[in-house]
Amino acid sequence: MPSKHFISWLFQYPVLWLSFGLLLVVLPVRPEIASLANLEILALSTAMLLVLAIGQTFVLITAGIDLSLPAVMSLASVVGASLIGGEGPLAGSPFAVSGTLLAMGLVGLAIGTLQGIAVGVFRMPAFLVSLASLMFFGGLAVWYTRSARIALPDEFIQIWYGRLAGIPYPILLVVLLAACAHMILARTVIGRWLYAVGQSLPASFVSGVPVQRTILFAYMASGLCAAIGAVFYSARLHTGSPQLVENEVLLDCIGAAVMGGTSLFGGQGKILGVLFGTLFLALVGNSLNLLGLRYWHVIMIKGGVILLATLLDATRHRMQPVLGGLT
Amino acid sequence: MIQQRSIGVLALTYAPLLLYGLVVLFLAALAPQFLSVANFLNILVLASPVAIAAIGMTFVLISAGIDLSVGSTMFLAGAIAGRLVVDAGWPVVGVIPVMLAVGLGVGLLNGWLIARLKLVPFMVTLATLFSARGAGLWITETRAINLPDSFRQLAVVHPLGIPLPILILVVVLLTAETVLRRTVLGKHLYALGYNAQGDEHENGREAAKAGIDISAVLLRVYAIAGLCAAVGSIITLAQLAAVSPNLGQGIELEIIAATVLGGTSLFGGRGTAGGAVLGALLVETVRNGLNLVNADPYFYPLITGAIIFGAVLLDSMRQQRLTLLRHRNIRIPKAIG
Amino acid sequence: MPPSVSSPCVLFLALLVATGCAEPDPDRLKIGVAFDTLQTEYWVAGYEALRADLARRGIDMIEAIADNDSNRQLDQIHAFIARQVDGIIVAPKDAMSVVPMIHAANRSRIPIVIYNRPPSANDGHSVTVVADNYQIAKATVTYMAEKAKASGKHYKAMILIGDLGDINAIQRRDGFDAAVSEYQDILEVVARVPTEWSQEIAYAGVTNSLQIHPDINFIFTSSDFLFSSLVSALKNRGKYAKIGKPNHVLLGGFDGDSTAYRMLEEGYLDADGVQDVYFECAASLDAVLDLRQGKKVASIIQDPGFVIHQGNLAEKKSLMWGSQVAK
């Protein structure tokens, strides 16, 4: 029997019941949506977006924003592919995959560090810092391969297509990552610092939070998540590409975080909420694909669904006093 | 506030202008043809659509909001205008009010959702970004529309010897500065934005206490942003003499960047319309310079990105020095915005 | 829930159900058509031609546009498979990222035809219908250069380059470079304008370049859809004149759209590289239906394309798809 506590918890994430609502609406029209194959596709798209959204959430909690994500992913993708693909120096070596993963992670961490220093130490506005990175590193990725794509070998592709006990690797890895991120935010001192910095930077400075290191950590986490995302996206497409994702993915992952209760003004945000926000957006994309509507209707409906989710979120806020009595 | 301004403080206060001068000098050294009145007018004309939209964005950012829908608004207004001119045979003067009405309409819709229903600006304008683009694609069926030559004349005529786009930019800029500095709306806007820092759900609780009608201010702010986007769209259409399905796509980032480069904070309460114009000019000037020296196309994003980074770095160092100079003993960092 | 919030929600969900319910006859064949973009008239013309051709043959079309995002396109292909389509026609973003789509279709034994962009070497089964961007661009520019040579003058050239991440844009640029390199004595490339496939950026680039080189008199655009920007900028400089006038600029384009057709008819445009949209569409559709019936189909169907110019306009214009669209 659901307790009052559980109901109130449900109301915290309206985006979750909106997802169920959407599923119920689409199900009679396209029963394929509940097929096992499709549910796996849905889980995989959620996992892909979740990796990026987790990194973004760390930054959003500190009242920052990381627009550089598509560029970090593209650069990591081509750097990795240039090592392991074709005639690359790591191709065929026993450390091919591990070396490539290391290099890709380093790309993400390096750009994250750079941005963290710019925002944390030099107090530059996060929006512009990451926008400049988006341009610069995005351009660097295209320049690095001179627009070419690089095919990835089978052993790298296995990271996406491989399975353990029937469950695809990426789902296992993302569950692990989400659990780590949740622990960091909810249980560690660095998590408390992140929220403190986001809530009030001067106050946290006065009360002894190492502001600079905390901000640096957030951007490094975001860079690393972008690099992990790059591994997944590249392996899935068999391709190291200097335009691995479109900039629209930014709006998707920030949107997912915000729908899951993360504030753009910092200090708020939970991994569970972000998971629900991501699930919702993945479901919207999946449903629209299955419905096969005309191009412009797809875009309009996407806008409508986002508005709907926002409306429900506002309703929740207004009903909070009523629900407060439940718990 | 400080009473006595030293030369150092003064120089730092006008650092954005100095920085812009530095970029100009650098480009002039690379390409001698860069420094000419004709080229500077050319840059102003090319920058005017983004600059005007950035002026509208300044209002939104001061209110601690954001408007992601401006690019789609530009496209929707252009799509409707294109169909009216080409298919219904409307005269150019007839479609201009329609375009302005479309911009105003999208702005009012954003404003209504944000002000009355108290929704998060980022999500609302993200939704209108998709919906308006979808509607525009529906109207044009994703086809490009070529506009008649009469539309192009708008970008070519020189009343008073100045190209019309520059004249429009100046009028919009002066109006915006007047509204921001001299009217009640402007005062309320800064007060609202300043107090909104920190928590969007308590948006301007302090401001409300001070007797400001928050939703009236917010409604006007988004209406202004939509209107400015429509004006930018008119100039863009006049320049291109065409409406393509990707008109204004992704331009919202460029517009917000121009605004923030000009000293407006994303966290509200701070910003000027003049700064937004300067920011838009900086980006356009760099592109102009790269075109003039026939740079390798692969270097465009690298150089543009590096210059924006450099500009922001210098600006933040200036801000820190200014804070230091103004209050010598308090060294609490400001919010990162 | 306050009425102001609930009414749009209900309306919206009703709309979604209504649009989704238009379920077609289950006995008819279903073909999934996935395009990377509808950004230019070329893609729209191909898309509409496929739609019309499928309707004529009594086959249902399920459509999906990926907006330049390969990952989304892969999702869309998975959605086609989930809906058990009878065949797939896909216009991918690049040669590599289409490989996993081919694998997915092969696994489900659904015939797949690649439209306009050939896949890289892979072990999957697919048919490709493609025009040679490099050769057509080279032939177009060579024709222009021959005209320049015949005039005996010295020429200053400009090229409008497409998005550097787009393979077709790169091939057309390379075709331009290859042609120009053989005429170095009379041709000097003074402006290489990156456009990112945006009319606004193209307009600014052309305007800026004409500012510093008012004597540019040889221009090639990598896509016809940039002609409106190009012509607008030329008119502002008083440089848009018919062939034979002293201030005529040698103009060349690529695609064969209706704007280019009109400019040829009116005597402004010298040459245009044409991809035969209608041939490509009919060949794709034939191929996918033949594959379905188990017939053998060549793995590459080449659209030879051609250069249309003032000399062969009367003879070739019926083959130029822009002349059909222009009616």
How far is it, in rounded angstroms, from Cα A260 to Cα A14? 9
pLDDT of residue C3: 42
Q: Count of CB contacts below 8 A, A vs B?
A: 185
pLDDT of residue C176: 97
- C208 and B287 within 8 Å at the Cβ level: the answer is yes
Cα–Cα distances (Å) from B320 to A117, A156, B9, B22, in that order, read: 15, 47, 11, 21
For residues C286 and C229, state if they share a domain: no
3-state SS of B209-277 is HCCCCHHHHHHHHHHHHHHHHHHHHHHHHHHHCEECCCCCCCHHHHHHHHHHHCCCCCCCCCCCHHHHH
Q: Which residues of chain C lie closer than 8 angstroms to A26, CB-CB?
A: 20
Task: Using pLDDT thresholds of 50, 70 and 90, give the confidence band for residue B9.
Answer: low
Q: Which residues of chain C lie closer than 8 angstroms to A45, CB-CB?
A: 75
- B309 and A302 within 8 Å at the Cβ level: the answer is no
3-state SS of A291-306 is HCCCHHHHHHHHHHHH
Which of C1, C64, C93 lies at the smallest CB-CB distance from A315? C1
Please name the residue of chain A whose CA is at the shortest distance from the CA of residue C37.
Answer: A295
Q: What CATH number does residue C92 fall under? A: 3.40.50.2300
Which of B123, B132, B260 lies at the smallest CB-CB distance from A127? B260
Question: Which of C96, C122, C222 to mutate against chain A (most A CBs within 10 Å)?
Answer: C96
In a domain, B1, yes or no: no
For residues C219 and C185, state if they share a domain: yes
In a domain, C230, yes or no: yes
Question: Which of A265, A295, A297 to mutate against chain B (most B CBs within 10 Å)?
Answer: A265
In a domain, B124, yes or no: yes
C232 in B contact zone (CB under 8 Å): yes
Q: pLDDT tens digits for C105-155?
A: 999 999 999 998 888 877 788 999 988 899 999 999 999 999 999 988 999
% chain B with pLDDT above 70 = 87
Please name the residue of chain A whose CA is at the shortest distance from the CA of residue B69.
Answer: A303
pLDDT of residue C26: 66
In a domain, C9, yes or no: no
For residues C158 and C250, state if they share a domain: yes
Question: Once rounded to an integer, what is the mean pLDDT over residues B127-131?
Answer: 95
In a domain, C16, yes or no: no
Q: What CATH number does residue B30 fall under? A: 1.10.3470
Would the pLDDT of B108 be above 90? yes
Report which of residues B74 and B336 the model is more confident about.
B74
Q: Cα distance from B198 to chain A (closest Cα, Å)?
A: 6
For residues C65 and C123, state if they share a domain: yes
pLDDT of residue B330: 46
For residues C154 and C261, state if they share a domain: yes
Helix ranges restricted to H, A201-270:
201-206, 211-237, 248-259
Q: What is the count of structural domains for chain B?
A: 1
% chain B with pLDDT above 90 = 53
Domain boundaries, chain A: 4-324
Q: Which residues of chain A lie closer than 8 angstroms to B113, CB-CB?
A: 307
Instruction: Count other Cβ atoms within 10 Å, centred on residue C106.
Output: 16
Domain extent, residue C55, equals 26-131+276-304
Touching subunits of C (3+ CB pairs, under 8 Å) are A, B
In a domain, C13, yes or no: no
For residues C194 and C267, state if they share a domain: yes
Q: pLDDT tens digits for A175-205?
A: 999 999 999 999 999 999 999 999 988 889 8
Q: Are C168 and C132 in contact (CB under 8 A)?
A: no
pLDDT of residue B98: 97
Would the pLDDT of A286 be above 80? yes
How far is it, in rounded angstroms, from Cα C210 to Cα C189? 13
Report which of residues A185 and B9 the model is more confident about.
A185
C3 in A contact zone (CB under 8 Å): no
Please name the residue of chain A whose CA is at the shortest distance from the CA of residue C166.
Answer: A147
Q: pLDDT tens digits for A234-281?
A: 999 999 999 898 888 888 899 899 888 888 888 889 999 999 999 999
Residues of chain C where predicted confidence (pLDDT) is lower than 70:
1-26, 326-327
In a domain, C33, yes or no: yes
Question: Once rounded to an integer, what is the mean pLDDT over residues B315-331?
Answer: 67
| A74 φ/ψ sector (left φ>0, alpha ψ -120 to 50, else beta) | alpha
Give, as one character, the DSSP assignment of residue B117. S
Q: Cα distance from C87 to chain A (closest Cα, Å)?
A: 15
Would the pLDDT of B19 be above 90? no
Cα–Cα distances (Å) from B82 to A162, B52, B89, B239, B296, in that order, read: 51, 21, 10, 14, 35
Q: Cα distance from C124 to chain B (closest Cα, Å)?
A: 33
Domain extent, residue B96, equals 7-326
Using an 8 Å CB-CB cutoff, list residues of chain B that contact chain C.
31, 33, 38-39, 42, 46, 49, 116-117, 141-144, 146, 149, 152, 155-156, 236, 239-242, 244-249, 251, 284, 287-288, 291-292, 294, 296-298, 300
Rg (CA), chain A: 20
**Check whether domain A4-324 has CATH 1.10.3470, yes or no:** yes
For residues C86 and C221, state if they share a domain: no
Q: Which of A262, A249, A160, A174 is nearest to A218 (CA)?
A: A262
Question: Once rounded to an integer, what is the mean pLDDT over residues A127-144?
Answer: 94
Q: pLDDT tens digits for B154-213?
A: 888 888 888 999 999 999 999 999 999 999 999 999 988 877 654 444 445 666 667 788
In a domain, B207, yes or no: yes
DSSP string, C51-81: HHHHHHTT-EEEEEE-TT-HHHHHHHHHHHH
Would the pLDDT of B87 be above 60? yes
The H or E element that residue A4 is part of is helix A4-12
SS3 category, A307: helix
- B127 and A307 within 8 Å at the Cβ level: the answer is yes
In a domain, B208, yes or no: yes
Strand partners, C303: C131
For residues C140 and C286, state if they share a domain: no
In a domain, B334, yes or no: no
AA identity, residue C283: A
Q: At B79, list the tokens.
A: 């799509």
Q: Which residues of chain B lie closer than 8 angstroms to C228, CB-CB?
A: 144, 146, 240-242, 244
C97 in A contact zone (CB under 8 Å): yes
pLDDT of residue A251: 85
For residues C127 and C231, state if they share a domain: no
Q: Which residues of chain A lie closer than 8 angstroms to C100, CB-CB?
A: 236-238
- Dmax over CA atoms of chain B, in Å, equals 68
In a domain, B15, yes or no: yes
For residues C160 and C268, state if they share a domain: yes
In a domain, C21, yes or no: no
